[in-house]
Amino acid sequence: MQAEVNQELCISCGACIDVCPEVFDWNDEEKAHAIMEEVPDELGSQASEAAESCPTDAILIN
């Protein structure tokens, strides 16, 4: 599983980082980004929950 944050859509609300800090963190532009390329299976549901919590649907999980 991979997670990606669309930088154009991220409004820096912090929800994804609250829900799943193992996968999402702030970048230098103060937007969220995925800090790992491949999300391990054990974090899959948490990463999906983070995507669902995003108010702008900026997180793509595939």
CB of 25 to ligand SF4, least distance (A): 10
With vertex at residue 43, the alpha carbon angle to CA 13 and CA 47, rounded to the nearest 5 degrees, is 30
CB of 18 to ligand SF4, least distance (A): 8
Per DSSP, helices labelled H in the chain are: 15-19, 44-53
CA pair distance 39, 36, nearest whole angstrom: 6
What residues line the site for ligand SF4 (CB under 6 A)? 5, 10-16, 32, 53-56, 58-59
Beta-bridge partners for 4: 60
CB of 39 to ligand SF4, least distance (A): 15
Choice between 8 and 41, CB closer to ligand SF4: 8
